[in-house]
Amino acid sequence: MNIKLVQSLVQVILSLSDEERSLLEEKLFFDLSEPLTSDLMQLSQTGGAFNFLECEPDIYSLDDGEPI
């Protein structure tokens, strides 16, 4: 383990402004290569891509099919 490196990093992080520290936290913890499920759900709700389903008739009920 490189203790000197860790100590140096801590000193640098503590010397950052609030804005710089927020940016660092964002980069470390929130930069994901894939969108979050909640973001996709919100996009599908607000984007209107599935609005046509509101006009579709209910063709299935709880009595359809076999119980699981």
**Most trustworthy range by pLDDT among 29-33, 57-61, 64-68:** 57-61
Q: Indicate the pTM of the whole model.
A: 0.42
3 state SS of 5: helix
- Polymer length of the chain: 68
Helix (H) or strand (E) holding 35: none
Q: Regarding predicted confidence, which is higher, 63 or 5?
A: 5
- Phi-psi region at 62: left, alpha or beta (left = phi > 0; alpha = psi -120 to 50): alpha
